[in-house]
Amino acid sequence: MKTRITELFGIEHPIIQGGMHYVGFAELAAAVSNAGGLGIITGLTQKTPELLAKEIARCREMTDKPFGVNLTFLPTVSSPDYPGYIRAIIEGGVKVVETAGNNPQKVLPVLQGAGIKVIHKCTSVRHSLKAEAIGCDAVSVDGFECGGHPGEDDIPNFILLPRAAEELKIPFVASGGMADGRSLVAAMALGAEGMNMGTRFIATKEAPVHENVKQAIVAASELDTRLVMRPLRNTERVLRNAAVDRLLEKEKTLGAELKFEDIIEEVAGVYPKIMLEGTMDAGAWSCGMVAGLIHDVPTCKELIDRIMSEADAIIRQRLGGFLAA
């Protein structure tokens, strides 16, 4: 399949694996890229720029295909060494950066000056237009369904994607709720030129996370996610568990008085315990409603091949059949 996204990133299939904290290690990024998609290493999961440089080198040993690095600009307690991470990305010869969170304007000249294409993840049309205006090469439009941070506007992709298509000139991918060939064809019908998946890629053989995480996603239905940290305007969609119930209870009790310190136990530093050790109730971890569409743990190649052949059959047979009738 050829779209402006496959052309921009030099990939075979218009499928991107979004950056994911403690999931986006070299193993997953390389597996997605080897399968013809665009794999992405999560920059900030590596504690220092030196460790990110090593992770990039490890990924390059596992694939000769293009892969990217995610740089998330989120409100954190202490600001990471962004210039150092950017140096590691440039010196590592990475050609794609997925930015997310705050406006990436400051880092664009240095990244693009090094020949890097920048795709910014946005949860609204106005942020997408801002990304276009500051010169991003593409955007990833993240609907309300998504795992992680859906923003505060709560617009699902059935509205958000065609709205983005009405306004944007640069290419965009659909993100949030994407799982299979149906998602890809639907996203493209709504104006996207590819799709970005998070949760779906966690439940793959190569995702270097504990088996418990993959099984929790397979077991979950579309009813099992919750929104946390809404009172702090830092909303995150997570899988419901004991820690999330406790967190929501605190939000209810404290109301407008809630501070980050009140919920620190449920949200800070929990990812290694969940993703690496498989302690599923250790805290709140991002997961999309799309869990309801995930029923197996294939390899990345099986998953991507299946998506592409499903998409082909939907376009040529199902949709084409309606026209022929």
79 vs 325 by CB, closer to ligand FMN: 79
Do 179 and 292 contact (CB within 8 A), yes or no?
Answer: no
Whole-number minimum distance, CB 201 to ligand FMN, in Å?
8
* Whole-number Å distance between alpha carbons of 273 and 241: 14
Whole-number minimum distance, CB 141 to ligand FMN, in Å?
10
Query: CA-based angle 177:285:95, to the nearest 5?
Result: 65
Strand intervals (E) in 88-178: 96-101, 117-122, 138-142, 172-175
Whole-number minimum distance, CB 218 to ligand FMN, in Å?
14
* Whole-number Å distance between alpha carbons of 68 and 58: 13
Whole-number minimum distance, CB 143 to ligand FMN, in Å?
8
Task: Say whether 239 sits in a helix, a strand or coil.
Answer: strand
Whole-number minimum distance, CB 210 to ligand FMN, in Å?
12
46 vs 70 by CB, closer to ligand FMN: 70
What are the residues whose beta carbons fall under 8 Å from the beta carbon of 263, sequence distance 6 or more? Answer: 228, 229, 247, 250, 251
13 vs 200 by CB, closer to ligand FMN: 200
Whole-number minimum distance, CB 189 to ligand FMN, in Å?
18
Whole-number minimum distance, CB 325 to ligand FMN, in Å?
33
6 vs 70 by CB, closer to ligand FMN: 70
168 vs 256 by CB, closer to ligand FMN: 168
- The residue whose Cβ lies closest to ligand FMN is 198
φ, ψ of residue 182 in degrees (nearest 5): -65, -45
Helix pair 49-62, 82-91: axis angle to 10 deg? 30
77 vs 323 by CB, closer to ligand FMN: 77
* Whole-number Å distance between alpha carbons of 97 and 73: 13
* Whole-number Å distance between alpha carbons of 134 and 303: 35
Q: Which residues bind ligand FMN (CB under 6 A)?
A: 18-21, 23, 42, 70, 72, 100, 121, 142, 145-148, 175-178, 196-200, 285-288, 290
30 vs 255 by CB, closer to ligand FMN: 30
